Amino acid sequence: MKRPVKELADYLGCALEGDATAPVSGVAAPLSARAEDLIYVESPRHLEGAAASAAKCVVIAPGVALPGKNLLRAANPKLVFARAAEWLLPPAPIAQGVHPTAVIAPSAQLAPSVAVGPYAVIEENVQVEAGTEIGAFCFLGRGARVGEGCRLYPRITIYPGCRVGNRVILHSGVVIGSDGFGYVADGQKYRKFPQVGVVEIHDDVEIGANTTLDRGSLGRTEIAAGVKLDNLVHVAHNVTIGENTVIAAQTGISGSSKIGKNVVVGGQVGIADHCQLEDGAIAGAQAGIPSGKIVHGGQIVWGTPARPLDKYKKQFAWFSRLPELAERIKRLENSVSGKEAQSAPGE
């Protein structure tokens, strides 16, 4: 829907320079933008592309000139652009009403505004709060709880007893509450250790497609408010993840590890059991964190086994020179061998 850019500027709290009546209806990258799309400029090196763009409206930092465009001034253009996208392009409904093919137990308690898609199954004593949308083929096990304003895309599985907070987004294929990988050897075979805990997800969490969260063995697996998990992340039993932490795709977190607040974990990181990443720590892509290791607050680690970034870079620089160093050593060995042969007695 078209809106005058003045309405958008008022919503965002931005100063507007230019035509207040200019229409804006979407967001885009500069090269693909139409006249009514909004774009943003994060640094001066992007000015040329923005100037050549068909877009008439630009979110831009204070003090940066861009003639011929309608400018929304913002200290953090990328953040304001993201907020503008939410306002201009609200997500399409996942479900509307309650589809006649949905299977809902009589004891389930769904707020009147809950929407349920085709072939969803909602078992006994489930509670779902107002404004939540449940997509096709979702499964909510007995006694599960889902808060207000959540978006459950198709084919989500929430095992019995697990709890999901408010405004949580779960993408297709997410599994919450499967048994943890816990076994005890008796000398002949492995016996299953009890997996009778729960998963608790707090408010404003987003979890990517095909990510799995195991229930606690005897306690809980807990995801704090504001956490963002990418696709294909595995969270094992009794793991805790602190507020506003972000974890990229294909990361695996083993049992009983503790991830603090505002931690950043890159893609394909392996975190062994009983590790601790303190508040503000950063683990670079493909880092391997051994069992029981503590990554201190604010520290950046990389490599396998994970080590401080400065140390990793020095070691990597030496590693890249190994062929050259090996050749030098070989020449030195040949030189020493030749001298020894020349000075051998009896010659």
Report the alpha-carbon angle 13-18-20, nearest 5.
65
DSSP state at residue 273: T
**What percent helix, strand, coil does the chain show, rounded to 5?**
20, 30, 55
Residue from 99, 237, 274, 296 carrying the catalytic annotation: 237
Return the SS3 of 93. coil
Beta-sheet strands, E only, within 89-153: 103-104, 109-110, 115-116, 121-122, 127-128, 133-134, 139-140, 145-146, 151-152
- 127 contacts 141 by C-beta, under 8 angstroms: no
Q: Distance (Å, rounded) from C-alpha 155 to C-alpha 150?
A: 15
Let me know: does 149 contact 167? Beta carbons within 8 Å: yes
Is the preceding omega at residue 44 within 30 degrees of 0, hence cis? Answer: no
- 3-class state of residue 227 by DSSP: coil
| Closest listed residue to residue 197, CA positions, set 256, 250, 275 | 256
Report the distance separating Cα 293 and Cα 165, nearest Å: 31
Vertex 176, ends 170 and 179: CA angle to 5°?
165
Helical ranges in the chain per DSSP H: 5-12, 47-52, 77-88, 309-320, 322-342
If you search the block for the tokens 């505002």, which residue do you land on? 262
Q: Which residues contact 216 (CB under 8 A, 6 or more apart)?
A: 180, 195, 197, 198, 199, 237, 238
45: tokens are 């090196």
99 is a catalytic site residue: no
What is the set of active-site residues? 237
